[in-house]
């Protein structure tokens, strides 16, 4: 049996199917939420691999472009992920995380932004 | 008319988390709650004999004449080393060496009848217990979701696992079906065995990282609390799903269920279905809230070169995946004590069913050296709680083309509707009900007596119990 859809390894396909990618055979179905969606967003390699500061990811590029300006890194991450700037309170939280450990903080921040309900809801 | 009351609906936040979150309003636009249930005119006597059900779907249809209802046909290969296992049953020793040892646990029903001859419709029928009707498909829940809804009241305080889980169900033709008009919290959590073991088996370091990130996330959320709280139930609902997922990932039983030893892989076979069976055993052993597991074993659809060892996929290969996986599952369930009732084994508490959507054409092979679809009789295997094993139910003719005895106490052959009734019965669910307030207005009948071509009995198949 054949499923049409983008290629990619089974991790990607599993991820996409959980978020409602249709298999051309399916009867039309509503995008039903389930705990599997946040489960995948939180720990699937599809997400966790992309937010590491490696292999020319956004996190890596930002850290490299603004080595002295964490504020700018935070802003760019917010804009890129949520299409809005960070609020003052959010910025404080984010900067504290980067201050503790720059690379991990940035990775964790990107993770947290992807896992915001806002991200899922809007995208 | 039994209506769930307002008190059932206004739950505390704790309860909502216990039950898995509310989900997006968009997704639950069709979701109906409270449900207006009403008894139907048929009678049902649930047996309540099992706590769990494992449904092993032989997806794509196995050739019944060479497997579970062995009858020598012109197309049957000669190398199957067929042995007579009882007065009435033969089994290929080549294909099923390990299953042979478990026949004393299995009640083998040979007389199933399917309305369908097409995979998509047949597998839809297997998952929902009714024919596909595109007009209503959007609102029809899968049987597992109905079970999740019915068993919700039994969830304990510390149950974190989803009631309905499946493995590889996205490989089935219709995919993993939705909750239909039921709220999204009864959705299946479908696990892809290859990805899951990598992702879900979090070691200590991964759990710590997750906790650190979760803290950051919570702080960010708090920072935005004032702005976001007015946005309504939908977003709050999704936040609840996150809480549930987080509880699941940090409940040590969840990653523990995804630990697989090399020895397990050897015994079950290092195949997707083998891994699915290992995970099934692990999840049931954790006893953390899962009660219905649907395993999908795809790939049986050999219209071409069914018995050609040179073909990349053929029945030899598929049987060599089935035999170790299914047999090891039965062995391990029988060897594991239940956490809730240590006097019983998991197999005592679990009804295991293996069934496809139909059989394959008996007789000679077709012009591509394969077998095609055949719905007039096909087998089902039952094992586990209460099942009296070592028996063969129903009889077919010498080619396994026609059913001669139906194997239960009706003159009509049993169908998937009756297997569904058997599942409901085992779990103690009264299936003589319908839900009236569906979005379309058409009542959802748990087991529909209106089969495809005439009225059918809606009873469970009690002959498997002796």
Determine the Cα–Cα distance for residues A12 and A46; give it in Å rounded to an integer.
6
pLDDT of residue B12: 45
pLDDT of residue B86: 87
pLDDT of residue A33: 62
| Segments in B49-142 forming alpha helices (H) | 119-128
Evaluate whether B72 touches B63 at the Cβ level (below 8 Å): no
* Mean pLDDT score, A89-116: 83
Contact A35 B245 (CB under 8 A): yes
| Chain B CB contacts of A26 below 8 Å | 174-175
Determine the Cα–Cα distance for residues A40 and A22; give it in Å rounded to an integer.
18
Contact B220 A10 (CB under 8 A): no
What's the CA angle centered on B393, arms B390 and B394, to 5 degrees?
A: 155
Q: Can you give A57-77 as a three-state secondary structure string?
A: CHHHHHHHHCCCCHHHHHHHH
Residues 6+ apart with CB under 8 A from B37: B1, B2, B3, B4, B433, B434, B435, B436
* DSSP label at residue B377: -
Contact B23 A120 (CB under 8 A): no
Using DSSP, state whether B189 is helix, strand or coil.
strand
Determine the Cα–Cα distance for residues B418 and B465; give it in Å rounded to an integer.
14
| Chain A CB contacts of B28 below 8 Å | 33
Determine the Cα–Cα distance for residues B355 and B372; give it in Å rounded to an integer.
17
Determine the Cα–Cα distance for residues A56 and B105; give it in Å rounded to an integer.
57
| Chain B CB contacts of A97 below 8 Å | 216
Using DSSP, state whether B35 is helix, strand or coil.
coil
Mutate to test the interface with B, among A35, A36, A59 (most CBs of B within 10 A): A35
pLDDT of residue A104: 81
**Residues 360..379 of B with a Cβ closer than 8 Å to A: which?**
none
Pairing of the two strands B164-167 and B378-384: unpaired
**H-run or E-run covering B360:** strand B359-360
Mutate to test the interface with B, among A5, A29, A32, A93 (most CBs of B within 10 A): A32
pLDDT of residue B410: 93
pTM: 0.86
B29 touches chain A (CB under 8 A): yes
Evaluate whether A42 touches B211 at the Cβ level (below 8 Å): no
User: Residue ranges of chain B with pLDDT lower than 50?
Assistant: 1, 4-29
Q: Dihedrals φ, ψ of B287, to 5°?
A: 50, 55
What's the CA angle centered on B287, arms B321 and B252, to 5 degrees?
A: 95
Determine the Cα–Cα distance for residues B192 and B166; give it in Å rounded to an integer.
9
Contact B174 A25 (CB under 8 A): yes
Q: Residue B417 class from Cβ within 10 Å (0-12 exposed, 13-18 middle, 19+ buried)?
A: buried
Determine the Cα–Cα distance for residues B374 and B358; give it in Å rounded to an integer.
6
In angstroms, the separation between the Cα of residue A50 and the nearest Cα of chain B is 14
pLDDT of residue B8: 45
| Segments in B229-287 forming alpha helices (H) | 233-250, 253-257, 262-268, 272-286
Q: Residue B184 class from Cβ within 10 Å (0-12 exposed, 13-18 middle, 19+ buried)?
A: buried
Picking from B418, B466, B465, the residue whose alpha carbon sits closest to that of residue B50 is: B465
Determine the Cα–Cα distance for residues A89 and A74; give it in Å rounded to an integer.
12
**H-run or E-run covering B327:** helix B315-335
In angstroms, the separation between the Cα of residue A101 and the nearest Cα of chain B is 12
Evaluate whether A78 touches A119 at the Cβ level (below 8 Å): no
The nearest alpha carbon in chain B to A118 belongs to B235
Contact A112 B20 (CB under 8 A): no
Picking from B276, B275, B254, the residue whose alpha carbon sits closest to that of residue B207 is: B254
Determine the Cα–Cα distance for residues B305 and B178; give it in Å rounded to an integer.
35
Q: DSSP per residue over B278-306, as a string?
A: HHHHHHHHHTSS--EEEEEE-----SS-T
Contact B189 A39 (CB under 8 A): yes
Contact A42 B249 (CB under 8 A): yes
Residue B159: HSE in the Cβ half-sphere, 13 Å Cα cutoff: 22
Residues 6+ apart with CB under 8 A from A76: A62, A66
Query: Could you tell me the pLDDT band of residue A2, with boundaries at 50, 70 and 90?
Result: very low
In angstroms, the separation between the Cα of residue B292 and the nearest Cα of chain A is 16
The distance from CA B131 to its chain's CA centroid, rounded to whole angstroms, is 17
> How is chain B split among helix, strand and coil, in percent rounded to 5?
35, 15, 45
**H-run or E-run covering B147:** helix B143-150
| Chain A CB contacts of B248 below 8 Å | 35, 39
Evaluate whether B374 touches B119 at the Cβ level (below 8 Å): no
Q: A46-55, A74-83, B339-348, B387-396: lowest mean pLDDT where?
A: A46-55
In angstroms, the separation between the Cα of residue A64 and the nearest Cα of chain B is 22
What's the CA angle centered on A105, arms A100 and A110, to 5 degrees?
A: 160
Evaluate whether B379 touches B93 at the Cβ level (below 8 Å): no
Q: Is the pLDDT of residue A119 over 90?
A: no
Q: Is the pLDDT of residue A32 over 60?
A: no
């Amino acid at each position: 049996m054949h499923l049409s859809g983008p290629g990619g390894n089974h991790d990607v396909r599993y991820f996409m199917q959980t978020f409602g990618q249709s298999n051309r055979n399916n009867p039309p179905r509503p995008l039903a939420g389930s705990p599997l969606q946040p489960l995948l967003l939180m720990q699937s390699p599809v997400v966790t691999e992309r937010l590491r500061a490696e292999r020319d990811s956004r996190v890596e590029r930002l850290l490299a472009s603004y080595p002295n300006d964490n504020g700018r890194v935070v802003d760019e991450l917010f804009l890129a992920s949520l299409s809005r700037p960070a609020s003052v309170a959010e910025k404080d939280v984010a900067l504290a995380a980067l201050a503790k450990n720059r690379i991990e903080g940035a990775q964790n921040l990107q993770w947290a932004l992807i896992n915001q309900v806002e991200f899922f809801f809007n995208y | 008319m039994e209506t769930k009351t307002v008190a059932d609906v206004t739950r505390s936040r704790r309860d909502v988390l216990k039950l898995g979150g509310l989900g997006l309003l968009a997704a639950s636009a069709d979701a109906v709650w409270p449900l207006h249930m009403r008894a139907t005119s048929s009678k049902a006597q649930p047996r309540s004999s099992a706590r769990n059900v494992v449904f092993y779907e032989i997806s794509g249809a196995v050739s019944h004449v060479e497997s579970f209802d062995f009858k020598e046909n012109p197309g049957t290969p000669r190398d199957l080393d067929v042995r007579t296992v009882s007065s009435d049953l033969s089994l290929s020793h080549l294909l099923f060496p390990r299953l042979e040892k478990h026949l004393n646990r299995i009640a083998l029903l040979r007389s199933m009848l399917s309305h369908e001859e097409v995979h998509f419709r047949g597998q839809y029928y297997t998952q929902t217990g009714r024919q596909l009707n595109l007009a209503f498909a959007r609102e029809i829940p899968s049987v597992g979701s109905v079970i999740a809804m019915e068993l919700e009241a039994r969830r304990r305080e510390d149950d974190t696992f989803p009631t309905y889980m499946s493995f590889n169900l996205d490989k089935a033709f219709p995919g993993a079906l939705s909750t239909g008009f039921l709220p999204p919290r009864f959705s299946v959590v479908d696990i892809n065995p290859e990805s899951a073991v990598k992702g879900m088996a979090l070691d200590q370091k991964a759990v710590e990282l997750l906790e650190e990130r979760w803290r950051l996330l919570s702080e960010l959320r708090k920072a935005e609390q004032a702005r976001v709280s007015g946005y309504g139930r939908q977003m709050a609902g999704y936040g609840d799903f996150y809480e549930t997922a987080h509880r699941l990932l940090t409940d040590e039983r969840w990653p523990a269920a995804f630990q697989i030893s090399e020895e397990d892989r050897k015994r079950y076979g290092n195949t997707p279905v083998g891994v699915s069976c290992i995970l099934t055993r692990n999840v049931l052993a954790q006893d953390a809230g899962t009660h219905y597991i649907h395993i999908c074993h795809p790939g049986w659809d050999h219209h071409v070169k069914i018995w050609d060892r040179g073909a990349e996929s053929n029945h030899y290969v598929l049987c060599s995946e089935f035999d170790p996986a299914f047999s090891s599952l039965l062995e391990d369930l029988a060897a594991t004590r239940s956490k809730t009732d240590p006097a019983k084994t998991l197999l005592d508490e679990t009804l295991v069913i293996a069934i496809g959507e139909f059989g394959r054409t008996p007789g000679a092979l077709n012009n591509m050296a394969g077998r095609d679809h055949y719905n007039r009789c096909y087998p089902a295997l039952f094992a586990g709680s209460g099942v009296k094993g070592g028996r063969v139910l129903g009889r077919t003719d010498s080619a396994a083309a026609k059913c001669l005895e139906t194997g239960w106490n009706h003159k009509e052959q049993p169908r998937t509707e009756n297997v569904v009734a058997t599942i409901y019965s085992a779990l103690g669910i009264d299936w003589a009900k319908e839900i009236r307030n569906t979005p379309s207005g058409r009542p959802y009948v748990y087991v529909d007596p209106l089969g495809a071509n005439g009225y059918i009995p809606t009873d469970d198949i009690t002959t498997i119990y002796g």
